[in-house]
Structure 1
Amino acid sequence: MPTVTLSADLKALAVISNDNGLDLRDVLRCIPHGQVPVVCTCTRSPTSSTGAASVDLILDVSTALNRPIDSLSLVSFGTLNGDHDLFDVWMETLHGTHRRIIMHSKFSLRDAVTAYHGLNVLAISEVALPEGSGEYELPYLTHLSVALLESGTQTSRGDSSVFLLERRPNPVLLCPILEIVGFVAYPWHPTIIAPEMISTFLKWHVKCSRPPVLRLSEIELVQNNVPEVAALLGLISDIQESRPTDSPSGRHGPMWNNRLPNVNDILGWETEMTKA
């Protein structure tokens, strides 16, 4: 199988397929991409991809790094027209030296936790935690971020929200050393939510050894129900406001390395890229 030679100075690589019959794994195995700081893959017509193929592709890409994945984000790709099970997967190594982005992927939270047991940072969409999916053990997780649905999809997809998970005897997310829990709305689209929504999520679905810091971005809490506000404050150690970062969709992940090339620039038609 022929191998492509890349410049040692290459900072970013995008591999995009317009062909449903093309397996990006075969393409990437011909490209020595392990040392490239940023690699992004995208299938423009993702409907034919399977969950198994998505998992294999992501494992191939991360294994080639020969470095542990420290941060991972599952960005929902769902729209009003369907494709609710598709996610853009963002991964970074420790200290943000390398980033991998696999777009339009059928990669689930269960797949992520199984493959990357040592995650320190996890950012998920509001719909990435399905009902009845069992427990997720994250023994090294210190930062958890939940991105709220875009306003245009809240009606059609709200029934899959983490805020509507059924209460269970055992929490879903087991994070013994968790320090920060963040909730993030779309940039420049402030969202107002009731404090009991966050309280219920923290009390029934997250297990950690001590109250975490609550970090809100583009979110305002309803404050006229004093008992509910007090109940929330009793579950956290502090509350902070943060701004959206230069991360997936400009809003996911608290610790992304902004010095790496921006994916929007990589995918621009005016930017040099490798197409398959």
Structure 2
Amino acid sequence: MNGNDLDRRDILRAAGAAALAAPAIAALSTEAQAAKPASGMSAAQRNSAPLGARLQGIQHFGLTVQNMERAFEFYTQVLGGTEVFRHGDFQGDQVQNTLLADQEIIATELGVNPRTMGVPDLRGGAQRLDVRFVQFDNVVVELLQYRDADQPMGGPRAFAEPVEHMSPAYPRMMHICFYVGDDVDFNKFITDLEAESARRGMTQVRANRSIRVTTEQERKAAPQDANTTKVTEEPSTGWELIYCKGPEGEQLEFVKALGPVKKRFADALAARKRAAS
């Protein structure tokens, strides 16, 4: 149930008591809804509240890719996300300033051409930016590709060279974590993920194992029950995880949160909602 449902219910009750008053009540209800959202704070109160109270949550994770079509196929056809929309051919001064001003400042301070630092020229149009948004149940993944202007949208060649070191231990490296259903066979999920990705030529999609392996052959030969790491120590009891590389070399994680750790997340979410209201 949302705020609009509450408005309609209130209006219908008022109409039952005094039909002639319904239009006025509807107007007042709509005005009150705009002035005081479901959180209970007015716009003025929210704008003076702590920064966390002004957020609605994480809207999306962005991933800059080498090959847009390959990445899009993985996140929609392999993992089953739904395309929200796509937009592309972004260029111009405003786009450059919005996305890349910090890097241009550093280049100026160093006295070097921004191109030598991997900064594309969206301002002059030598490079372009394309984006596609993919919706999952609770978050959106945004795929971004910076490409030379003479390259087609969705093509396999990005403006910058791929990062050589993709270890999650490097500072600023990020990962996208997917929440797997409680009743899903986690070991089989990863087996199927690797097989489906390989069928599509995405040989980079490889999951780590919970046992030590020193070669790719050993990784492939590991028993299926070695796919999942299960945490049994507090405060993470009930946490199950698999680390996996995506088709662009991006770091992915697949998790289950069961039992005590699931309750901890639920309690934290409930506490945040109470604080926000």
TM range (shorter): under 0.3
Scaled by the length of structure 2, what TM-score is found? 0.26
The structure where strand makes up a greater share of residues is: 1
Give the structure-1-normalised TM-score.
0.27
Greater helix proportion: 2
